[in-house]
Amino acid sequence: MASPKKAADKTNGSSPPEFTKEQELKALRDMLLIRRFEEKAGQLYGMGAIGGFCHLYIGQEAVVVGMQMALKQGDQVITGYRDHGHMLACGMDANGVMAELTGRRGGYSKGKGGSMHMFSMEKQFYGGHGIVGAQVSLGTGLAFANHYRGNDNVSVAYFGDGAANQGQVYESFNMAELWKLPVIYVIENNRYAMGTAVSRASAQQDFSKRGASFNIPGKQVDGMDVRAVKAAGDEAVAWCRAGKGPFILEMQTYRYRGHSMSDPAKYRTREEVEKVRHDQDPIEQVRNRLLAAKVSEADLKAIDAEVRDIVNASADFAQHDPEPDASELWTDVYR
């Protein structure tokens, strides 16, 4: 019940299109970077180097990595507070993200935003938003801007199964379809809104149908299989770029860690988590396919090592970079 359903059945029972070896390797590398980064962030939180809230993305890596593979330069991404993975997938620098987590001047927001508030105009990443559901209206606004300017960019607004119950989500759905805005709503259904299981919070648990009353097409996707995510992303992107309006993708995924760092996780069993990790881990799936395709252990270890180096360097930077200057207190309130 509580593990991500095998959604592949719903897409005509066929398995997703195969990746090329290059795509598999890229997916593996990008997902590993997120996982190792998040593990390191959890560790730094445990050491007290990161304060406040810290929501880890471990387990959900295939969603953002697969979606990113379907996008082109100029497309925009916006998400909620579980955002480190999205930033890394957009190509933001690990040092800058980690230093923001530790509240240092080299962080993306000069240490003034923290885990939930980072942005990159360069990478078209629009945050990092701490109010559940707010990014859905904002992401619709990004699509509005694309429509207004008449370019062919698409915006991707990520939100969770919890946020999917917020009122402004449906206000946004209505306007997006009414005005045919190029926005992909990616609902990351990780089965729990903080500690509340989907079944205890949602009258309609098929999130791909949440746009039905606005005539927005939706699809359930196996969010643990990066190939399925990419294929669904391609379909949604094509729909949006063709001027047909918004598209909803329900990514069935799973978060291995607690909601935030101080979550005792009493709402689910350890066995449940272990089963998903064992049966459906998005990274292991790719690794196993690569090994079956005769990619050597040594090559995979080299990717591991490269990723660990990036992550360790970011942790080192984030702990040694100075805190923001006291004068920064007063800057950036107004332009």
Partner 1 sequence: MPIQVLMPALSPTMEKGNLAKWLKKEGETIKSGDVIAEIETDKATMEVEATDEGTLGKILIPEGTADVAVNTPIATILADGETAADLAKAPAAPAPAVAQEVAESRSPVGEGKPMISAPKAAAAPQAVAEPDPEVPAGTAMVTQTIREALRDAMAEEMRRDADVFVMGEEVAEYQGAYKVTQGLLQEFGPKRVIDTPITEHGFAGVGVGAAMTGLKPIVEFMTFNFAMQAIDQIINSAAKTLYMSGGQMGCSIVFRGPNGAAARVAAQHSQDYASWYSNIPGLKVIAPFSAADYKGLLKAAIRDPNPVIFLENEVLYGHTGEVPKLDDYVIPIGKARIARAGSHVSIISWSNGMTYALKAADELAKDGIEAEVIDLRTLRPMDTETIINSVKKTGRAVTVEEGWAQSGVGAEIAARIMEHAFDYLDAPVARVSGKDVPMPYAANLEKLALPSAAEVVEAAKAVCYR
Q: How far is the CB of 294 from partner 1 (least distance, A)?
A: 23
Q: How are beta strands 192-193 and 196-197 bridged, if at all?
A: antiparallel
Site residues (CB under 8 A) for partner 1, limited to 202-231: none
Examine residue 298 and tell whether it contacts partner 1 (CB under 8 A): no
> Among residues 142 and 187, whose Cβ is nearest to partner 1?
142
Options 71, 101, 175, 303; binder of partner 1; rule CB under 8 A: 175
CB atoms within 10 A of CB 286: 27
Examine residue 172 and tell whether it contacts partner 1 (CB under 8 A): yes
> Among residues 23 and 194, whose Cβ is nearest to partner 1?
194
Q: Which stretch binds partner 1 (CB under 8 A): 7-15, 45-53, 191-199, 215-223?
A: 45-53
User: Which of 129, 149, 130 is CA-nearest to residue 139?
Assistant: 129
Site string for partner 1, 234-273 (x = CB under 8 A): ----------------------xx---xx-xxx---x---
Site residues (CB under 8 A) for partner 1, limited to 54-83: 58, 76, 78
Q: How far is the CB of 12 from partner 1 (least distance, A)?
A: 33
26 Cβ neighbours under 8 A, 6+ residues apart: 69
Examine residue 159 and tell whether it contacts partner 1 (CB under 8 A): no
Q: What is the DSSP string of 240-277?
A: HHTT---EEEEEE----S-SSTT---TTS-HHHHHHHH
Tokens of 193: 């809104």
Q: How far is the CB of 60 from partner 1 (least distance, A)?
A: 13
CB atoms within 10 A of CB 21: 13
Tokens of 206: 């098929």
Summary count for the chain: helices (H), strands (E):
11, 8
Compute the C-alpha angle 80/160/134, nearest 5°.
40
Examine residue 167 and tell whether it contacts partner 1 (CB under 8 A): yes
Q: How far is the CB of 69 from partner 1 (least distance, A)?
A: 23
Site string for partner 1, 108-147 (x = CB under 8 A): xxxxxx---xxxxx----xxxxxx--x-xxxxxxxxxx--
